[in-house]
Amino acid sequence: MRRVLGLLGLLALVALLAPAGGCSFLTLDEFPCPPGGTTLTYENFGAPFLARWCDSCHSAPNGNRDGAPDDFDFATLADVHADAARIFVRAAATNDSMPPGPDEIPPSQREDLAVWLACGAP
């Protein structure tokens, strides 16, 4: 029984990490920072991007997060650094399972997010 519960827990974790639809996804480790680095910073890109696309759920008070897990909060740069790999597989480059809903992040902004995260989210 314990083995079955462990397997079910592992499958649940995989389902949480996988993008919607079970499609393959690009990871942060697979996306290098460009050789010249980036001019994107938290101030000129990260904070405005997160405010526009993520914070209404991922920085909202617990209970008002529209399904966003309470332990995935993007209110600070430290929070982003802690969850950079997960943010990448959900919303950067060709990964598009977040945000849910009618609004879609433009591909150029997803690419900028990928570069910013790959360069360490300065």
Residues with Cβ < 8 Å from 60, sequence gap 6 or more?
Answer: 66, 68
Contact 119, 92 (CB under 8 A): no
DSSP code, position 65:
S
pLDDT(82) > 60: yes
Per the structure block, which two tokens stand in for 39?
């001019």
Q: Rounded distance, CA 91 to CA 97, Å?
A: 6
pLDDT, residue 23, reads 56
How far is Cα 108 from Cα 103, in angstroms, rounded to an integer?
A: 15
Say yes or no to pLDDT of 59 above 90: no
pTM: 0.78
Domain ranges of the chain: 2-118
Q: How confident is the model at residue 12, as a pLDDT? A: 45
Q: Is the pLDDT of residue 94 over 60?
A: yes
